[in-house]
Structure 1
Amino acid sequence: MRRHALAATLALACVAALAAVPLPVSAHVNDVRGDPQVSADGTVLVETAYVADDAWLAVYRDDDGSRGEVIATRRLSGAGFRTDLAVSIDEAAWRDWPEGEARTVHVALHNDEGSSGFDPEEDEVLTFFGRAATDRFTLERGTGAYVGARAFSPQETDGPSVTARTVRLPSDGHLVARNVTDVGENETALEPVGATALGAGTHGNVTVELDEDYYERQDARARIAFTVYRDDGDGTFDADDEPVRAGGETLTTFVSLNRTDTGGGDGAGDGDEGAAVTTPSATDGSDDGSLVTTATAGSTASGDGTSGDGTATDASTTGTDGQPGFGTLAAALALVVGLVAHARRRRT
């Protein structure tokens, strides 16, 4: 009885520790995030997916706000954090998708029971602390457009700049960094604080220089939004440039950053978060350029920066994204798993 009481007490303490970890939206365990985008060939880019074991990624039609018919699947082999994960919509479903039409799609992570293929009845949706590992976003058929920047941990910066991982523009335009307010579930992208011109097509690791005055006003932690804009023909980002949209939704993603040049603040770069080691997702048998990231112990967190020029605005963009301290979370989870296993051994 004493051992059971001790296990229960430790488990409760572990849960309390988890509650103390800053989790803006959800922890990156069995978690998936997608953003509005435009696809030319039926390929959907899922911005981030974290699984603790083998899993399935499924894309669904929207059915009056709920998940409807499955229109794409991809198996994920092994645990890890994946970015810009490509999933191809079934040919028949894409063939019936009119050019220029925008629809809501749902994406979900499912467990993998080891059968010959994906079975939504057998392979249930994964959850983490009661939250289903699902998301939904707008997908339009047209010339490709996308921006991806969410990461395993915040970007680190020692100066006024911030980097987006993947940017796709349908025509010549700009990648714009924007100030973020109401950080959390209802965070909103407001005025631009930096921009860089880009040609049509896909670009990787695009850095935006931030307005120095804006940057210096930021604390050790900051939050930035990335939005892609079409250029109006003058080659300069200004109020005449329009944001790229999928349906009526602006293509925007959100990213956190740590300033390492503040000499204090809230502990940015103090080594209390697991590092991100990123490798090509060869375990998936794919060559689409998606990445798998796993945590390593005893290393510093990474982060990103922000700032701008205060020109064009689009205050309608909102989004959600959580970037918790994974090292603390993983340790607490490991303790819970260990306690449960110990209790089971005692009962048997």
Structure 2
Amino acid sequence: MRTLLIATLCALVCAGLGPGCDCRGRRAGEDAGAAELVRTERVEVPAATSVPPLQLDQPRVGPVRLLAAGAAPRRVFRYRPGTGTQHLYIEADLEGREHPGRDAGWSPRVRLPALTYGLALTPGSAGEPMSVRGLDFEVGPDRAGTGPAATEPGRDAAGPDAPTAVAGRMAAAMQARYAAQVQGRRASAVIAERGLLERLVADPAAAPAPGPDTHIEMQQILVQSLVPLPEQPIGVGARWHVSMLVQRGAAVVEHNGVYELIAIEGSAEAAPAELRLRVRAELSQDGEPQRASAQGLPAGVRAELVALTWRAHGELVLSPAAFTPSAGELAVDYLVHSRLIQGARQREVLLESTGTVRLRTAVSP
């Protein structure tokens, strides 16, 4: 049963950089709050979730709003990738735990194996869209008994709450969804010279055939990785903001990014491959209550998102020679609260993960 619950959550919202409430500053009373959320299986469904599932085929991107221009001298920056393939590699070092509802309580927090995945982006010729391909999903050795989470009380050496069992379930669910939707799949994408994802469409003729959510998963990876640039000239200290609506699994979320240019390495005459922009990023995604169109559920069962919040902050190094960061590290915090409904029976399910995500881009000829 727990495997089904966690697989359902991944189908709902596990996408992008690591799998509703801001997790930061929540540690002291989080278990009591979670117990309140899951105290009953019979709860009244909010009216907002009685509408059909929200679905967004492509991101709805708002304008890039300049908050501060920064110090002089100021310059206009644009991405100018060459013809080489840009390989975006993402390595996630996460700790997670699950709450399967009823009176079970939170599982002990466990450290997941290192998870590595990404995308390959190849520019098209003469204005043609980019080709996008999902890279392999790699799972490192078991680390459930290591790190700060290993000292948490209440963990059993065996059984469904054993560290290895919990970590294995969470990693396997993420890997299975990625393998079914992204790995080896192909798509075409249009990314503007300012780094805005305008469109991404899965290639139905490619092998292996795309899954129903291939384009959604690829969009989410790019939305969380791309750094849109302002239209105006900027200097060190410049700050800007972008907001968009984007599909995350079976839910629609609002994505916000606030960026600050903290250093420029390279002269105005430097070639794109020799220029570096160091940017501080504060990212967030928030999902409000809504019906979800998760696939693979048993007959008669439907899913709803109660709340979702995802936060990420850190520094990224940009090169105009690639759309995705050449290097960077983000601290991530993620919590999703979902509801499974079958007739009059309802079940609350929560999944939490925190940790670090490292990004790098390698450009090959």
TM interval, shorter chain, is under 0.3
Comparing both chains, which one has the higher relative contact order based on Cα–Cα distances under 8 Å and sequence gaps of 6 or more?
2
